Amino acid sequence: MNLAELWNYMLLDMEAERFGNEMRQSAKRKLLLKQTEFLKEQQAKFAKVEADIEQLAQQLDELKKEADRLNALLGEIIEQNQDVDALDADALSERMTAAERLLASLNDCEKQIENVRREAESAERSQTEIKRRAAKTKAEYDAVKKEYDVEFAQDKVKLKQLRDKAEKAAASLDKADLDRYKQIKLHCTPPMARLVNNQCTGCFMTLPVGTLREIKASNEPHTCDNCGRLLYPQD
């Protein structure tokens, strides 16, 4: 195993990886994700308010029908009472009571109509506000997206260059070595560490004397007993 070559490959591999991570951490990208989230929320809110408005409109419709019905009944009583002379006192009083009851119901109904109307107005206002906020965010999103697209296109080129450089270095490596490297990388990054002053510089554990002796005695590469990184002894 050529540790120096593998180490060199790792530096290039890590550089490409770091750059890829930086791309994902881009401030513009994060902002776009946040804005997308916000827009989704506004969409959900808008749909809910829209459903509320529809329900309130139905309520208003029903209440108006009820008011019309009560008004018609009241009209009938008034009509019948035109001929006051023909009524005796008891019948008159009965009709007056009925009329008063109807009026009270009508008042109640109108109050309800007023409440529902106010509620509907308030819902419409919040709908307008949601629309305004969403439009503002969408405009901001579009502006950031335009800038991000340029940034991303440039970064993609750079990332490809870094990856190509690493792949070029990988081409001269032994396949088994590269496989081992990749295996370690699955649970440990970076997958290699220098061995300095009997210490693994990946996890800073001092290696047992036995392991150190083995490393010195053989040409075989060793991994750290603690973190599993491939050790690169410093000359």
Which residues contribute to the site for Zn ion (CB under 5 A)?
A: 200, 202-203, 224, 226-227
Kindly tell me which of 63 and 195 has the beta carbon lying closer to Zn ion. 195
What is the smallest separation between the CB atom of 217 and Zn ion, expressed in angstroms? 20
Kindly tell me which of 20 and 228 has the beta carbon lying closer to Zn ion. 228
Please name the amino acid found at residue 143. A
Instruction: Find tokens 């004397």 and name the residue.
Output: 209
Cβ atoms 130, 42 nearer than 8 A: yes
Q: What residues pair up with 231 in beta bridges, in sequence order? A: 193
C-alpha of 119 from chain center:
30
Kindly tell me which of 70 and 188 has the beta carbon lying closer to Zn ion. 188
Q: Is 14 helix (H, G, I), strand (E, B) or coil?
A: helix
Kindly tell me which of 175 and 216 has the beta carbon lying closer to Zn ion. 216
Kindly tell me which of 130 and 200 has the beta carbon lying closer to Zn ion. 200
What is the smallest separation between the CB atom of 13 and Zn ion, expressed in angstroms? 19
What is the smallest separation between the CB atom of 36 and Zn ion, expressed in angstroms? 40
C-alpha closest to that of 32 among 130, 129, 136, 138: 138
Instruction: Find tokens 């510089």 and name the residue.
Output: 201
CA–CA gap between residue 6 and residue 28 (Å, rounded): 35
Instruction: Find tokens 């990886």 and name the residue.
Output: 17
C-alpha closest to that of 70 among 93, 90, 98, 96: 98
What is the smallest separation between the CB atom of 226 and Zn ion, expressed in angstroms? 5
What is the smallest separation between the CB atom of 201 and Zn ion, expressed in angstroms? 8
Kindly tell me which of 59 and 226 has the beta carbon lying closer to Zn ion. 226
What is the smallest separation between the CB atom of 12 and Zn ion, expressed in angstroms? 22
Report which DSSP code applies to 223. Answer: B
Please name the amino acid found at residue 168. K
